């Protein structure tokens, strides 16, 4: 599968980095390198946290000069398992006041307001909801950190907000790091590796579970604030507005229709996209690819129906496009998706 487009300044909340440092997951040498970096920049982490700032994800490269994929995965997962509600900046209040697991998970749609490292998409199926997590830094090693952090943090947050342990599964596309061999979630069948893409599977019964600190008034107020922030951030960003259009029900629009929907001429739309280093076809292909992955995650959907939902009247054309996006046919993708579930069951089951 192709790597996501590079985001040079992929970041995360300063509060999240401060939480990681305070939790003692960062060793003394790495903490010293971070302090040296902050000193060179004339910054201090507490001040950045107080101001609600973000820190670049690539700072972990400075903290760990020899950072490899396994260490990045372990650090992200371990940090997520110790996350705090205050680590999520603007999302903290709606997280605390959410009325159900479904309301908690829907807040993932607003992740770009606090971090450009990951994005989330949702697919409602008959018995569950698939939450697809996509890494955004373009660095296959650094990407491990936000993906593992996000997956582990969701489980941690739900354990705090909901009585008991909510039922859900985490599927990670990368191979299993050796340090996860004895992880309790792996042995319990809640954590799987070698998946076709990063995603969570949340049963409908779990989505409906009630949160213990539910405050509908506070939640709706905080949610309205998040929606306003998202609209303000995207109002002058042609790429962001086009992505929102292509992620919605009008995902099959052509460039003429998209330009009209954005109140732009076709030439202006092309020029602004070129200035941003992309094109209409690239953005539409990315949106179609992500939608295809989500639809193919539904076992009852036929390849033909998935292709038709994406606007391909002919299965061969859909298969050709899918192979161009991912390097494999839709059928091969389906077969690969079916294998890891059996392979990742605890020994003896």
CA distance 122 to 178: 30
- Cβ atoms of 208 and 100 within 8 Å: the answer is yes
Residue 343 confidence class, pLDDT cut points 50, 70, 90? very low
Residue 171 confidence class, pLDDT cut points 50, 70, 90? very high
Q: Is the pLDDT of residue 219 over 50?
A: yes
Mean pLDDT over 235-255 rounds to 79
Q: How many residues does the chain have?
A: 349
Mean pLDDT over 263-287 rounds to 86
Q: Which helix (H) or strand (E) holds 154?
A: helix 144-161
The whole-chain average pLDDT of the chain stands at 86
Residue % of the chain over a pLDDT of 90: 49
Residue 100 DSSP class: B
Q: Residue-wise over 113-124: b if at least 16 C-beta within 10 A, else e?
A: bbbbbbbbbbbe
pLDDT tens, position by position, 27-38? 999 999 999 999
Query: Any bridge partners for residue 95, and if so which?
Result: none
Of the candidates 130, 252, 145, the one whose C-alpha atom is nearest the C-alpha of residue 197 is 130
CA distance 105 to 98: 10
CB neighbours of residue 64 within 10 Å: 18
Q: What is the pLDDT of residue 216?
A: 93
Task: Tell me the CATH number for domain 236-341.
Answer: 1.10.10.60
pLDDT tens, position by position, 72-128? 999 999 999 998 888 888 888 999 999 999 999 989 988 888 888 988 888 888 899
Mean pLDDT over 14-30 rounds to 90
Residue 4 confidence class, pLDDT cut points 50, 70, 90? very low
Mean pLDDT over 198-224 rounds to 93
Q: What is the pLDDT of residue 340?
A: 47
> Residue ranges of the domains in the chain?
69-207, 236-341
CA distance 157 to 83: 8
């Amino acid at each position: 599968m192709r790597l996501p487009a590079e985001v040079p300044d992929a970041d995360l909340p300063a509060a999240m980095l401060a939480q990681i440092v305070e939790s003692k997951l960062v060793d003394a040498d790495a903490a010293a390198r971070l302090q040296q970096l902050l000193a060179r920049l004339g910054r201090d982490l507490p001040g950045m946290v107080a101001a609600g700032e973000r820190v670049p994800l690539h700072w972990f490269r400075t903290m760990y000069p020899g950072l490899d994929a396994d260490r990045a995965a372990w650090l992200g997962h371990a940090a997520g398992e110790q996350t705090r509600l205050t680590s999520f900046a603007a999302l903290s209040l709606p997280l605390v006041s959410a009325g159900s697991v479904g309301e908690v998970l829907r807040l993932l749609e607003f992740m770009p307001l606090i971090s450009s490292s990951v994005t989330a998409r949702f697919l409602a199926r008959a018995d569950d909801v698939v939450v697809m997590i996509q890494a955004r830094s373009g660095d296959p090693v650094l990407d491990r950190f936000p993906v593992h952090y996000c997956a582990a943090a969701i489980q941690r947050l739900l354990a705090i907000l909901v009585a008991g342990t909510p039922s859900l599964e985490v599927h990670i596309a990368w191979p299993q790091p050796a340090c996860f061999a004895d992880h309790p979630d792996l042995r319990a069948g809640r954590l799987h590796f070698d998946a076709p893409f990063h995603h969570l599977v949340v049963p409908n019964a779990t989505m409906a579970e009630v949160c213990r600190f539910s405050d509908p008034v506070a939640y709706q107020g905080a949610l309205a604030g998040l929606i306003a922030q998202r609209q303000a951030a995207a109002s002058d960003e042609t790429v962001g507005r086009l992505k929102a259009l292509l992620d919605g029900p009008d995902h099959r629009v052509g460039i003429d229709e998209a330009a009209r929907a954005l109140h732009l001429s076709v030439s202006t739309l092309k020029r602004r996209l070129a200035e941003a280093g992309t094109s209409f076809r690239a953005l539409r292909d990315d949106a179609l690819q992500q939608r295809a992955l989500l639809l193919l995650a539904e076992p009852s959907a036929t390849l033909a129906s998935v292709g038709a939902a994406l606007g391909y009247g002919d299965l061969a054309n859909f298969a050709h496009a899918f192979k161009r996006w991912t390097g494999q046919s839709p059928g091969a993708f389906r077969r690969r998706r079916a294998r890891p579930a059996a392979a990742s069951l605890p020994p003896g089951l």
